[in-house]
Amino acid sequence: MSVTLGSTDIPFGANPGLNRRIGMWHECQPMTTNHFRQKSFVRAALAALVLVLVPAVASAQSRRGGGGAGSPGHLEVGGEAGFTIPFESGVGVGIKFAPEGFFFLPEFSPGLSLGVGGQLALDYHFGDFNFWFMDIVPMGRLRFAVNPGMSVYGDLGLGIGILHSSGVTVPFLGTVGGGTEAGLLLKLGGGVEFKVSPKLSVTAGPAFNFYVRSGGTTTLSLMGGLLFKL
């Protein structure tokens, strides 16, 4: 019995360590996606984002234009850093960096506000296979002020996730497999925010990232960061 890598047949049992790496590569490698599938993923993501974000932006404009009571909206920018735990075997814990920004609409209930914005993240994983993810995620953040110095929040985002894998290195054959694939990304998260000053906050919390692609990929991010109120 043998396994075929490209045009080469390698018998099982000849090299147990190599067989283990080949089996893990077959489980973990992203499937090649043609241009038509990538375009369909992008179109679906953009259409969903328009349906979600346009009503929120229109509501914000009507509130601002109505001249009603309440504080005006404001912009907050910052970033997060932390670790990502994958749910696939053979992929190590990742390091993730994610700049982000939100425009927070006027409070629609005492202490409760909605931020509309997004996050651009880079997530790199070490292990038997080297993976990196790039996330382009427009999202909303619902924030509730527990007291003047602390808030809790929930995040919901829908965007595009790009996954790249390096493949597996086989003796005498070099690197086999690997590739780059784009798909929809659903982000569900939350956390706690502490005010350090009127303009600066510290955030911390987990998030689940669901990458919709061939085979599917899920990761858990544990992140901490800063937000600056402009």
Give the CB-side neighbour count of residue 164, counting CA atoms within 13 A: 8
pLDDT at 68: 41
Residue 174 lies in a domain: yes
Residue 1 lies in a domain: no
Residue 6 lies in a domain: no
pLDDT tens by residue, 82-102: 999 988 766 778 899 999 999
Residue 189 lies in a domain: yes
Residue 82 lies in a domain: yes
Which structural domain range is residue 52 located in? Answer: 17-64+72-229
pLDDT at 184: 92
Tokens 């283990």 belong to which residue? 20
The answer to whether 199 and 229 have CB atoms below 8 angstroms apart is yes
pLDDT tens by residue, 187-196: 999 999 999 9
pLDDT at 7: 41
Residue 205 sits in a domain whose CATH number is 2.40.160.20
pLDDT at 88: 74
pTM of the model: 0.66
pLDDT at 75: 95
pLDDT in tens, the chain (230 residues): 444 444 444 443 444 444 444 444 444 444 444 444 445 554 555 555 555 555 544 554 454 444 444 467 899 999 999 999 988 766 778 899 999 999 999 988 888 999 999 999 999 987 666 778 899 999 999 999 999 999 999 999 999 999 887 766 655 555 556 678 888 999 999 999 999 999 999 999 999 999 886 667 889 999 999 999 99
Residue 98 lies in a domain: yes
Residue 5 lies in a domain: no
Burial 151-183 (b: 16+ CB within 10 A, else e): bebebebbbbbbbbbebbebeeeeebbbeebbb
Count of structural domains, the chain: 1
Residue 30 lies in a domain: yes
